[in-house]
Amino acid sequence: MTRKQRYTNIDHADTSTSLADLLKWQLERRAKKKDLADTIKQAPFKEVDTLVNNRSEMSITWIGHSTFLIQMNGLNLITDPVWAKRMGFGKRLTEPGIALVDMPAIDVVCISHSHYDHLDFPTLKRLKGNPTYFVPVGLGRAFNKRGYNKVVEGSWYDSFEHRGLKISFVPAQHWTKRTLTDTNTSHWGGWIIENEERSIYFAGDTAYFKGFEDIEKRFDIDIVLMPIGAYEPEWFMKATHITPEDAVKAFLELNAKMFIPMHYGAYHLADDTGPEAITRLDAEWQRLGLDPAELKKLLIGETLWP
């Protein structure tokens, strides 16, 4: 029997946790009282018809969590598409910004890793269009066995040309698991999408790590889609999830021009809430005296036309 390939982080950073740590966290969680009714707001106006018909302008629409509709070069690209109503035992806290039935036909899907809040096969089955799927190395077989054949696997720093876009897979510090036996049998990372005018870095799911400095040396990044949620308790989450403060630090190391936060507010994956993450992000931005125009906190379903 062939031994499964297991993937690792830069410098083999350890993201494993013990059963004792997990039980300690669950005991802490029961003692915390968080107001989950205070949620991230929906955009008052959603440009659904404009997005469906757009074939020329660049746009970024936050659907929720780590799902963005990105329009570049006349293509519709989506990151980590998840419209799931539940995640584990918890209900989704906010509705997706655009109903799946109202989405345009998708040309490209970029998957950061295999965790269920980033890879939802029932959602993929309902996507309009016949997209090409860009996935981390090791994950292609899960797509192939479900009948998806337009699948491109990427290892860190692989780049692909696709209909006028350059799509590159870059490192993150995280891990993967979908079943009892497949821990880290596929990789994880972020995607950088570039055309001749703009570049967008979708960071996927990550802790703070030295890889941000390495990415900055290789890419000229305009817009960063950066996670800020699922960090509490920090003693348990710090190896796999970035805090709002470290997300700002990473943004500065990337030397990018705009920060769009993500990975908060849709699912109660850790003990922090979406509003708490935004409050900490705002406080750090102000503490460092950064330009308010460089921080764009999208409402759910809001579209940015860079």
Count of structural domains, the chain: 1
Q: Give the CA distances from residue 96 to residues 24, 190, 241, 292, in Å, rounded to whole numbers and listed in that order.
A: 32, 22, 22, 26
194 burial (CB, 10 Å; 0-12 / 13-18 / 19+) is: buried
| pLDDT score, position 33 | 82
What does pLDDT average to over the chain?
A: 96
Exposure class string for 229-267: b at 16+ Cβ within 10 A, else e: bbbbbeebbebbbbbbbbbbbbbebbebbbbbbbbbbbb
Mean pLDDT lowest for which of 33-47, 122-136, 157-171? Answer: 33-47
* 65 in Cβ contact with 263 (< 8 Å): yes
**pLDDT value at position 1?**
43
Query: What pLDDT, on a 0 to 100 scale, did the predictor assign at position 34?
Result: 86
Structure tokens at 221: 């990044």
Q: Is the pLDDT of residue 271 over 70?
A: yes
Question: Which residues span the domain enclosing 100?
Answer: 47-304
- Asked whether residue 34 is domain-assigned, the answer is no
In this structure, what CATH number is given to the domain that contains residue 201?
Answer: 3.60.15.10
- The pLDDT assigned to 2 comes to 54
Does 170 map to a domain?
Answer: yes
Residue 215 lies in a domain: yes
If pLDDT is split at 50, 70 and 90, which confidence band does 3 have? low
Tell me whether residue 209 is in a domain: yes
Q: What percent of the chain shows pLDDT beyond 90?
A: 93
CA distance 58 to 75: 9
Residues in the chain: 306
Q: What is the pLDDT of residue 32?
A: 85
DSSP letter (8 states) at residue 241 = S
For residue 23, the one-letter residue type is L
Q: Alpha-carbon distance 203 to 251, whole Å?
A: 11
Q: Give this prediction's pTM.
A: 0.96
Domain membership of residue 12 (yes or no) is no
Instruction: Decide if 27 is inside a domain.
Output: no
Cis upstream peptide for 233 (omega within 30°): yes
Q: In this structure, what token pair is assigned to residue 38?
A: 């205070």
Residue 120 domain flag: yes
Is 90's pLDDT higher than 50? yes
Rounded distance between C-alpha atoms, residue 121 and residue 143, angstroms: 9
Q: 185 in a domain, yes or no?
A: yes
